[in-house]
Structure 1
Amino acid sequence: MSKIKESIFDFDLFKRLFEYIKPYKLIFVGLVVLVILLAVFGVATPKITQYAIDESITKKEAQYFLFYIVIMLAVLLLQTVFQLLFIYYASWLGQNLVMDVRVKLFNHLLKFKMQYYDNSSVGVLITRAVTDMERIADIFGQGLFMIIRDLLTMSVVFGVMVYTNVRLSLIVFLMLPILLYATRVFQKYMKKAFEEVRTEVSNLNSFVQERLTGMKILQLFTRESVEIENFKAINERHKKGWLKTVWYNSIFFPLADLSASITIGLVAWYGGLRVVLDGTVTQGVLVSFIMFIPMLFRPLRQIADKFNTLQMGMVAAKRVFKVIDTTSQIDDHGTYVAEHFKGDISFENVYFNYVEDEPVLKGISFHVKAGETAAIVGATGAGKSTIINLLNRFYEINEGVIAVDGINIEQVTLASLRTQIAVVLQDVFLFADTIFNNITLNHPEITEEQVYQAAKAIGIHDFIMTLPNGYQYNVKERGVMLSSGQRQLISFLRAYVTNPSILVLDEATSSVDSYSEQLIQNATDKITKGRTSIVIAHRLATVKKADKIIVMDSGTIVEQGTHEELLKKENGYYKNLYEVQFLQEEVA
């Protein structure tokens, strides 16, 4: 026990959560009133029973008995109504609070640098946004207000018991310190156990999410037997985490029930003697005390149970706020709103690294004039895709300047910069939605007619119309209903329909059929015409058509020029690349 030094309740964290209640103050105040009423009405039933026994049953006077029965029924009815309202609005408040926190979290996630996602598990983030949020809702729906209600009920019961009979109250209170100490120990261990459970839930979610996403790879390389063993190991740790909570519960709750039973026995023994021997305790008082004891011990038992819920919620809230407190956003302090770029691009002595002390770009400089098409070639890992990422400010450069039309892109608002630059990536991502929505990304200003005309302009309208339901065809998760070439065509149309000032293409057609390749080549020619384009070139046809070729190797630019100029360089990097890769393609 001495090893568990953490506070069993984080008041600073709760104070922060409480800030989200402010828009719902009236509901919160109403819940407090309901808590008070429930505590008062809960104590009323034993007292009415006491009076009914002492004033009517013992004295055998029936004239007030019916009155007490009617009063008890009225109290029970009101108690039921208050309980209904309390449970509903406590859960209502929890769900509304969580909705606000979840929106804030998702809005925060939308603004993170790509580097954050490079280093973060998608499964863990999903756990934060979904499972952990539900645990936070339980803080208010099943935890906090329930604990307040139980504490207040115990306080009222305590006062009424002392007022009714001090000696019987002392017998009851002798057992309370034991149960209170056991409750405190229980809460400390449960907090540690729940933190372990939440960690293992995140690990389990991450593992399952990754394996489901990469299922094709697992089956291609027959890794099913290995992965099931890995899953068993993770699942075993998850099970052990939960079993710890079960073990602590199995010790505490029987102990609490035993304490209540012993207390009832002692009160029945001592109170019964007083009823028989000297009359200092009435039958009604004895019965009311037997009714009071569960009302005192059961809330204490429930508080421990609800404290479990509260602690799980607090652990979840701590994890969620850790993400919200993460400062990984691109600094968007630009004041220039770009409505249209001419498209003059320059990189001046740009240095960049994804990992500290492992440079990816080493002082590169180049200039692409407005309307030109620049092809970037080089071996894998040379830094080609990094240039695309930096132009869109997905990452911050370490040194140097990137400018468009002579304006440092850091001075341009992030939204307007990215609006003017369209990117077609090699790895096309499509949402589980219709083709039309994947093209427009639900942009309200892009009409159906604009999409149709853009599709016809780049020559893919006929292809889309061959699909069931045409533009309303649902491509399912990640576009699995389309081939890689078809997904690439949709991404070209997505870029073209926004009418960007600058176009960036990661042109990859190695895994597509000849028909799709021809459509992609035609689409490339159409959408690059008349606008500045940067193309990571994989095909000779694109390289030869480029106004400028930028040759990269190990994060540096080793050559620049046109196709003809670079071929004239003896032992040049591009010439060697052409002879090894591009010339084979041309011969083929």
Structure 2
Amino acid sequence: MAKNTIKNDEDQLNRSKTEIVGRLLAYLNPYKFKTFIVIMLMLFVMICGIANPYLLKIAIDNYIQNKDVNGLVYIGIILVVLNLFAMWASKIRWTMISSVTNNILVNIRHELYVHIQKLSFTFFDNRPVGKILARVMGDVNALQNLFNQSIQNLIPELLSLVCVAIVMFVLNVKLAFASILILPLLAIAMLYIETRARKRWDDYRKKRSNLNGFTHEDFSGIKVVQAFAKEDDTEKSFKNFVSELMGSFMKAVKLNDFFWPLVELSWGIGTVVVFYVGYSLVESGDIQVGTLVAFSLYIGMFWRPIMNLSNFYNTLISNFSAADRIFDIMEIDPEIISAENAPEIGKINGEVTFKDVTFAYDEHTKVLNNINFTINPGEKIALVGATGAGKTTIVSLLSRFYDPTSGEILVDGKNIKNVDLESLRRQMGIMLQDTFLFSTSIKENIRYGKLDATDEEVIAAAKAVNAHEFIMKMEKGYDTDVNERGSRLSLGQRQLISFARALLANPRILILDEATSNIDTQTERLVQDGIEKLLEGRTSFVIAHRLSTIRDCDKIMVIGDGVVKESGSHDELIKRRGRYYKLYMAQYGFMNDGA
């Protein structure tokens, strides 16, 4: 997938109208019975509407001319009863339509959300979060009118149009042909507008997505914006995005606004033609006045469905882009999935082997090159090296956030690509460099590592990493909300909570990526004391720039230029006076200079 930024319009596949309508209508399948009931009610209302002019014709031609009062009363009673039932049917119809369309939107949004959660990191790496939100929220919401009108207008209006046309041809063939004379020209004009309108609506939704992406990014980084006093600059950028959005919207709306005037003009011309022909037929005695009056009413009933169908067509065109954008995401296959019928990995002992592993994020960025090593169960391994050397990539591959470009990663001798992904990750505790907390309580953030954990287990995990003391000083203790991304806590406090969350999962393999980078020296010592027992019996990978925190690891691997440059214990590497020695002495000397 091509990388996209907030300033770039997203690539989008334009599907045919038939494909889009077919896929959207497929969401009606679970509601076939309700849809059938709605259509039946619509047919009843439509029949009542069609019957009104015909009953009026009978009243004029048969009873008014003959001054038959009883007959007129009889017709009047039928009209009143018929229309009361039609009103009752319409009310039930609207209630059922609302229920069906809202359920469909919920299903589409849920399906899209579940699918996005399964997508690989490369999807999120190449697309701003704000643009993803635009699809889940804005584009799904845009389909509401489409579904409402699909059920309410498309089927019943087509049926109404056909039924009225049949009645018109039965009443008088000449008047019927006069009514539809203008239709071919209207169809040509509407197709001409549609081909241009769709492109403009595509552009509008892309600009809206750009605005959404910018807004999300700006508010997520509001502390940086305010710290550098860039509010005026971001305001200008916001105005530019809004201006582009407004411009694209006005272009689309101006073109779409031609639909209704075209239909109304056609309606007017058709009515004039019918009355001209009808007047001639009355004069010649071919039809009665009642037939012309009824036909004039049927003209309105003939063009009203066309008006509603054109409105549906208008809605369809303006929402083609939203449907395309949703289907674009739905058609992206997750890169990291469990193999078909993949067995569960079973209880992990913790042996980890990288066999000829090479990895590149793209064809220009090779991060690891032919990595080979084996870690025994229960060993504590440290990964050190310069920023960008590939340390985090190694643990990301082990967690199977990505798959190697080539080579194999084995856990207990089993290739992790051939086992059930969830069974692997369930037994891994991962604390990544980017500490993320959810906008809920401290307790629930820790419990995320084990959803069925008791309060006692949560507290025990917090105590193990020495987070209990600062938590109890909070206003509500463990029930204190941390705000979005844990913004009300210090970086060190966030890491301690994240650490407790990882440990609560009781993993067989524990990954700590810069776990103590934001903890002061005193707290770090307490954490080190607390985690020593918890690391026992677990294979652990520790990434740390503070070399003092990894001295006691069983093995230290120095990563550089995409390969393992050195490997051994702290004492062994110091004696070799290689890369690790230079890193250690440089940091030790820097710390002394600072002191």
- Per the alignment, residue 105 of structure 2 pairs with 98
Q: Would the alpha carbon gap of residues 255 and 310 (structure 1) be closer, same or farther in structure 2, given more than 3 Å must change? A: closer
Aligned equivalents of 1:81, 1:515: Cα separation in 2: 75
Out of 497, 508, 512, the residue aligned to residue 501 of structure 1 is 508
Q: Distance in 1 between matches of 2:335 and 2:538?
A: 30
1:269 CA drift (Å): 4.9
Residue 578 (1) aligns with residue 580 (2)? no
Aligned residue for 1:360, secondary structure, equals strand
Matched, 1:527 2:527: no
Q: AA paired with 2:354?
A: F
Q: Which residue of 1 aligns with 2:289?
A: 283
Out of 426, 436, 458, which is 2:433 matched to? 426
Aligned partner of 1:368: which letter?
A: I
C-alpha distance 88-244 of structure 1, shift in aligned 2 (>3 A)? farther
Tell me, in whole angstroms, the C-alpha distance in 2 between the residues paired with 1:372 and 1:424: 18
User: Could you say what the CA RMSD is over the residues aligned between the two structures, in angstroms?
Assistant: 2.6
Q: Which moved more, 1:331-340 or 1:477-486?
A: 331-340
CA contact (8 A) 2:356 2:408 kept: yes
* Number of the residue aligned with 1:485: 492
What is the CA distance between 1:353 and its match in structure 2?
A: 0.7
Pairing of 1:449-468 with structure 2 (within 5 A): 449-468=456-475
Deviations 1:412-464 (CA, angstroms, capped at 9, x unpaired): 32112111110112211111112222112285432222212222333322322
In the superposition, the TM-score normalised over structure 1's length comes to 0.91
1:354 aligned counterpart, secondary structure? strand
Instruction: Note the C-alpha offset of 1:513.
Output: 4.6
Residue 328 of structure 1 deviates from its aligned partner by: 2.7
Shift of 1:195: 2.0
* Structure 2: gaps (5+ residues): 1-12
Out of 250, 257, 261, the position equivalent to 2:268 is 261
Alignment partner, residue 175 of structure 1: 182
Aligned residue identity for 2:236: E
Q: Which of 29, 42, 47 is matched with 2:49 structurally? A: 42
1:554-569 alignment, distance < 5 Å:
554-569=561-576
Cα distance in 2 for partners of 1:222, 1:308 equals: 45
The answer to which of 307-316 and 511-520 deviates more is 511-520
Counterpart of 1:3?
A: none
User: Is the counterpart of residue 134 in structure 1 residue 136 in structure 2?
Assistant: no
Compute the displacement of 1:586 (Å): 5.9
**1:71, 1:245 → 2: CA distance?**
47
Greater shift, 189-198 or 333-342, is seen at 333-342
Question: Cα deviations across residues 538-580 of structure 1 (Å, max 9, x unaligned)?
Answer: 223312222211111121111112222222224x211211122
Whether 1:30 aligns to 2:44 is: no
Matched, 1:356 2:380: no
* Superposed displacement of residue 94, structure 1: 2.7
Which residue in 2 is equivalent to 1:327?
Answer: 333
Match of 2:51, SS state, is helix
Give the match's secondary structure for 1:350: strand
Residue by residue over 1:455-484, the C-alpha shift from the partner in whole angstroms, topping out at 9 and shown as x without a partner, is: 233332232222222222221211112111
- Work out whether residues 499 and 515 of structure 2, in 8 Å CA contact, stay in contact via their aligned partners in 1: no
| Counterpart in the other structure of 1:316 | 322
Deviation of the 1:516 alpha carbon: 4.6
Deviation at 1:510? 4.5
Q: Which residue of 2 aligns with 1:194?
A: 201
Distance in 1, Cα, partners of 2:493 & 2:79? 73
On the 8 A contact 1:540/1:585 being kept in 2, the answer is no
Gaps of 5+ in 1: 1-5
Pair 271,165 (structure 1): closer, same or farther in 2 beyond 3 Å: same
TM-score under structure 2 length normalisation: 0.90
1:205 counterpart residue number: 212
Cα deviation, residue 379, structure 1: 0.6
Contact 1:436 1:471 in 2 (8 A): yes
Say if 1:42 and 1:153, in contact at 8 Å, map to a contact too: no
For 1:216-259, what per-residue CA distance to the aligned partner results, in whole angstroms no more than 9, with x for missing partners? 22223333333333322322222222212321233332232233
Instruction: Give the conservation status (yes or no) of the 8 Å contact 2:450–2:505.
Output: no
Among 81, 97, 109, the alignment partner of 2:88 is 81
SS of residue paired to 1:326: coil
The aligned residue for residue 113 of structure 1 is 120
Residue 165 of structure 1, aligned match among 147, 168, 172: 172
CA change 1:582–1:336 in 2 (3 A) is farther
1:146 matched to 2:148? The reply is no
Contact conserved, 1:552 with 1:559, CA < 8 A, in 2? yes
SS in 2 for 1:380: coil
1:75–1:180: structure 2 CA closer, same or farther, 3 Å change rule?
A: farther
Q: Supply the AA of the counterpart residue of 1:417.
A: L
For 1:7 and 1:316, the matched residues in 2 are separated by 11
**Aligned equivalent of 1:296:** 302
Pair 515,473 (structure 1): closer, same or farther in 2 beyond 3 Å: farther
Identical columns (%): 36
1:206 Cα deviation from its structure 2 partner: 1.5
Kept in 2: contact 1:350–1:362 (CA 8 A) = yes
Q: Residue type matched to 1:180 in 2?
A: A
| Equivalences for residues 208-227 of structure 1 within 5 A | 208-227=215-234
Aligned length: 581
